[in-house]
């Protein structure tokens, strides 16, 4: 049986490279599109697997993929990205993504990954960045206070630290959680059950 695959990338040169890699494989039928055309292709072409190359995995992308998975439930999604934060992997799994791999892993294990995902297996062949450090207790307390609508000033008064220290802790939280806003930090922390 042929595996029908849609390949998409934000980078047209990478897209051509993926296409040429897959063209040499037996039993794989390929369609290509840009990331901007993805919604249209997923809803109009019968597919087994959609391979999506993105620069980084973030909450917005995961939510879009969750929506795409709901409208194309039979399609298995493989995400190829070089920049991710390990906290997004469980969210991606919950959203119905079948695999997250790096470009290098995909190129060296192409056939295996495609066949396993087409058969319904999930593969998360990424490893957390070595610089990852979990949120410390004060960062979790600050996130909990933010979720309870405390301002930075109120947090600094309550914890007896300067407002600038609160801001530094928030910056650290944003970096560790892979977000760029208070709302994003709260959303990720709640999903990871770090706060209530």
- Per-residue pLDDT reduced to its tens digit, 78-128: 998 866 667 778 888 888 899 888 877 777 788 788 888 988 888 876 544
Cβ atoms of 107 and 82 closer than 8 Å: no
Q: Give the DSSP H or E segment for 77.
A: strand 76-80
Confidence (pTM): 0.63
Alpha helix segments (H runs only) across 47-136: 59-71, 88-94, 103-108, 110-118
Q: Which residue has the higher pLDDT, 189 or 118?
A: 118
Instruction: Using alpha carbons, select from 20, 14, 13, 15 the residue that is nearest to residue 41.
Output: 15
């Amino acid at each position: 049986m042929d595996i029908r695959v849609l390949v998409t990338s934000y980078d047209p040169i990478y897209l051509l490279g993926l296409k040429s890699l897959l063209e040499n494989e037996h039993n794989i039928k390929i369609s290509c599109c840009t990331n901007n055309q993805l919604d249209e292709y997923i809803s109009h072409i019968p597919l087994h697997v959609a391979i999506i190359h993105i620069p980084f995995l973030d909450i917005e992308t995961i939510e879009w993929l969750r929506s795409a998975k709901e409208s194309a439930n039979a399609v298995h999604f493989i995400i190829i990205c070089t920049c991710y934060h390990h906290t997004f992997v469980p969210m991606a799994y919950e959203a119905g993504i079948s695999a997250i791999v790096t470009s290098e892993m995909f190129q060296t294990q192409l056939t295996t990954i495609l066949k396993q995902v087409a058969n319904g297996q999930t593969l998360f062949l990424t490893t957390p960045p070595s610089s990852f450090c979990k949120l410390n207790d004060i960062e979790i307390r600050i996130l909990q206070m933010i979720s309870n609508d405390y301002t930075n000033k109120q947090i600094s008064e309550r914890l007896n630290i300067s407002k600038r220290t609160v801001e530094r802790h928030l910056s650290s939280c944003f970096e560790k959680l892979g977000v760029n806003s208070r709302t994003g930090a709260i959303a990720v922390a709640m999903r990871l059950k770090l706060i209530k």
